[in-house]
């Protein structure tokens, strides 16, 4: 069980994580945003990109199979990846100028 200080730290980290991720999710619908956040959080928790492990780490109240299906179904959306990629390039493209080493 988490003590009060650990719980506060966890909540602060979750807020910062959501704020950071929201920079890249413009143009996505609410269910898509939730799914992207769940996937990223699962990857961070498990340190793995294996869908079954990511789904297991989310500890949802629905069967693991349904969680896996949701993750895979949403990852197959072509426009989802394109939108996120465009948002990342837009956000960080502002910081690139003629003096930026690449």
- 24 by Cβ neighbours in 10 Å (0-12 / 13-18 / 19+) ranks as buried
pLDDT of residue 1: 61
77 vs 34, 39, 80, 83, CA distance in Å?
Answer: 14, 14, 5, 10
The answer to whether position 32 is within a domain reads yes
The answer to whether position 87 is within a domain reads yes
Stated as kind and residue range, the H or E segment containing 7 is helix 4-22
The answer to whether position 64 is within a domain reads yes
Q: pLDDT (tens digit, 9 = 90+) per residue, 60-82?
A: 999 999 999 998 988 888 788 88
The answer to whether position 59 is within a domain reads yes
The answer to whether position 78 is within a domain reads yes
The values of phi and psi at residue 27, to 5°, are 90, -5
The answer to whether position 21 is within a domain reads no
- The domain in which residue 71 lies consists of 28-93
Is the pLDDT score of 5 beyond 70? yes
Residue 96 confidence class, pLDDT cut points 50, 70, 90: confident
pTM comes to 0.75
The answer to whether position 88 is within a domain reads yes
Number of domains in the chain: 1
50 compared with 98, residue with greater pLDDT = 50
Is the pLDDT score of 93 beyond 90? no
């Amino acid at each position: 069980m988490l003590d009060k200080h650990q719980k506060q730290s966890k909540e602060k980290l979750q807020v910062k994580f959501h704020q950071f991720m929201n920079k890249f999710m413009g143009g996505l619908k609410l269910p898509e945003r939730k799914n992207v956040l769940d996937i990223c959080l699962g990857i961070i928790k498990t340190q793995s990109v294996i869908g079954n492990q990511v789904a297991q780490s989310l500890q949802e109240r629905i069967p693991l199979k349904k969680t896996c299906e949701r993750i895979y179904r949403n990852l197959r959306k072509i426009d989802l990846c394109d939108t996120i990629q465009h948002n990342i390039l837009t956000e960080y493209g502002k910081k690139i100028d003629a003096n930026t080493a690449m």
